[in-house]
Amino acid sequence: MATTTSGIQALYEDVVASLVLHYDNFVLLPNPGVLTNIYNISGGLGNTVKVPITNAWAAGSTVTEGDSVIGTAARDFNPGSISFAVNKRGAGTYVNEEALEDGGLATVRNAVLLRLSRAIAQATDVAGFNQLIVGSDTTPANIAVVTAGGLSNDGQSNVATYSGNSDVSLVMSPEALAYAMKREPTVKMWNDVDRDRYEMVATVRNGFARIPFNAPGGANAYFARAIIGSNSFDAANADAAQGGVSLNMISKSVANLRSVNAPTDAAGMYLAVVTAAHEFQLAKELNGVGGITNGSIGSVAQELANQALMDALIGQAVGCRFIRSNNLPRGLADS
């Protein structure tokens, strides 16, 4: 960076100092409250992480006095592993000298910080959710890719019978996904004297992998469930018959995770990550305003219903903490 402008120097130093905190506030997945398996490999060689996984186990057996315990009830510890690589995610912006002169340092600083931090945060979340849903950083092209991607669907099964635009939400255990970081969020700047402006670039290197487990019967499964449903906000198209999601579907996912002993967070909860459309459909069911008649709990859990009405936010329900995200796959055709 070659510049003698005190304003841009101050801007650069402030953005560098503030980016990580600002980034952390907006990133969902690299968060100890959401994921248990977080690996920082920034000080080592290579760009790949190997994560251990363990096989399923069974209950112990009754052992006759004097008999071999291992011979009667061998429960071998046979760990496997998965490997995944990190990728660079970045965003850049231009800052014209006139912007500093006319717009003010505080305004420019906030705009730059918002664009850079949210851009790399969003890229991180998109990659993480895609990995959990289909095992790839690439956003699935349609629902057929999602249903073939490995996660079981507890949402609508009739996705081809309505408008053909589906969102994918998730119910997940904190053990469902592994996260690795090779480079902390970093800012670099260059002074373009020809155009009288500054180029600012933010990058981070990170990666995700979903963690399989050996389910009963020998097949691999995952500690997460998909909730597929309509992306419609129209009351006529967002009910159960037309593809909307319901709390019964979230509850089914929770039951399926509990049935395979999927770990919960410290409070005994799973995480439900839902799109805006699915949040609308669930909140409508909660608050009872035009909600799904069958299963509407507005009169039963009035406190929770009032919260959904006043805050437009679902906090906790049916064993889940709810988080809304626009970084899940949205608006997918059925095939």
CA distance 212 to 290: 40
Q: Residue 295: is its pLDDT beyond 50? A: no
Q: Which of 158, 187, 319, 331 is nearest to 254 (CA)?
A: 319
Q: Residue 312: is its pLDDT beyond 50? A: no
What integer pLDDT is reported at residue 178 of this predicted model?
94
pLDDT top residue among 293 and 15: 15
CATH ID of 1-57+80-138+178-209, from 3.30.1490.20, 3.30.1490.100, 3.30.2400.20, 3.40.50.11140: 3.30.2400.20
Least confident span in 79-83, 127-131, 293-297? 293-297
pLDDT top residue among 317 and 126: 126
What integer pLDDT is reported at residue 125 of this predicted model?
92
Q: Using a pLDDT cut of 70, give the percent of the chain over it.
A: 82
What integer pLDDT is reported at residue 296 of this predicted model?
46
Average pLDDT estimate for 191-206:
92
What integer pLDDT is reported at residue 291 of this predicted model?
42
Which tens digit of pLDDT belongs to each residue from 275-284? 999 988 888 7
Report phi then psi at 155, rounded to 5: -90, -145
Q: Residue 297: is its pLDDT beyond 50? A: no
**Cβ partners under 8 Å of residue 42, min gap 6:** 181, 182, 183, 184
Q: Where are the domains of the chain?
A: 1-57+80-138+178-209, 140-176+211-335
Q: At what angle do helices 6-26 and 105-134 cross, to 10 degrees?
A: 30
What integer pLDDT is reported at residue 93 of this predicted model?
93
In this structure, are strands 316-317 and 320-324 parallel, antiparallel, or unpaired? antiparallel
Q: Compute how many other C-beta atoms are within 10 angstroms of the C-beta atom of residue 155.
A: 25
Q: Which of 265, 64, 247, 55 is nearest to 169 (CA)?
A: 247
Average pLDDT, the chain: 82
**pTM confidence score:** 0.84
Least confident span in 112-116, 223-227, 241-245, 328-332? 241-245
Which tens digit of pLDDT belongs to each residue from 159-195? 655 556 899 999 999 999 999 999 988 899 998 999 9
Give 29-95 as a DSSP string: SS-TTT-SEEEE-TTSSSSEEEEEE-----------TTS-HHHHS------EEEEEE-EEEEEEEEE
Least confident span in 58-72, 175-189, 208-222? 208-222
Q: Residue 287: is its pLDDT beyond 70? A: no
